[in-house]
Amino acid sequence: MVRRVVTGHDGAGRAVVASDADVPPMETAMPGFDTYDIWGADQELTFPDRGEKPSYSDFFPPRGGFRYVMFRIAPRAMPTEVSAGSGESNMAASAMVEIMAHEKPGMHRTESVDMLFVHKGACHLELDDGKTVTLRAGDAAIQSGTLHAWSNPFDEECVALAVMVSARQQ
């Protein structure tokens, strides 16, 4: 679980804690990969607001939208199989299956700029040219709509935070 504290405004416009709750992991398309849907919106937000989570129906943001997520990649997790799963909350799994390059499990491209920060551990970012970059705790990566895959060949869990902002592919 991830704890999410959200602030908002009361009727007088004063800052308040609107919610303080645990966020469970979402079902994902690949074993060993957990995703936590922390926050997001499908359009520009306005203030003051009550701190209520905007509703959205897709894992990836549409034009003008964003998502804030956390990823946990288990030790030795490699994208070897992809499945939409069967759980009730499989928004992330279904979205990933739709964008996967099915000839190579794990390879995918999104219509977003993904700003990623590795908080703990390390992971590999593989690109479609065959090159792999190792990202370690404290590293940041900007994923600009490229075909890529994530893996964790190491003995420690990798935890990364990402903000995905919609972008247009030409």
**Type and span of the H or E element at 140:** strand 140-144
Give 97-111 pLDDT, tens digit per residue.
555 555 676 788 888
pTM over 0.85: no
Over residues 38-45, the mean pLDDT reads 92
Among 5-19, 69-83, 114-128, the least confident range:
69-83
Give 150-161 pLDDT, tens digit per residue.
999 999 999 999
Domain made up of 25-48+59-166: CATH architecture: Sandwich (2.60)
Euclidean distance between CA atoms 32 and 26, whole angstroms? 12
Q: Percent of the chain having pLDDT more than 90? A: 54
The pLDDT of residue 126 is: 93
First to last CA, the chain: 38
The pLDDT of residue 44 is: 87
DSSP H helix total and E strand total for the chain: 1, 10
* pLDDT of 88 above 50: no
The count of other CB atoms within 10 Å of the CB of residue 88 is: 7
Strand-pairing partners, residue 51, are none
The pLDDT of residue 1 is: 86
- Mean pLDDT score across all residues of the chain: 86
Q: Taking a C-beta distance cutoff of 8 angstroms, is the pair 157, 34 a contact?
A: no
98: alpha, beta or left? (left if phi > 0; alpha if psi -120 to 50): alpha
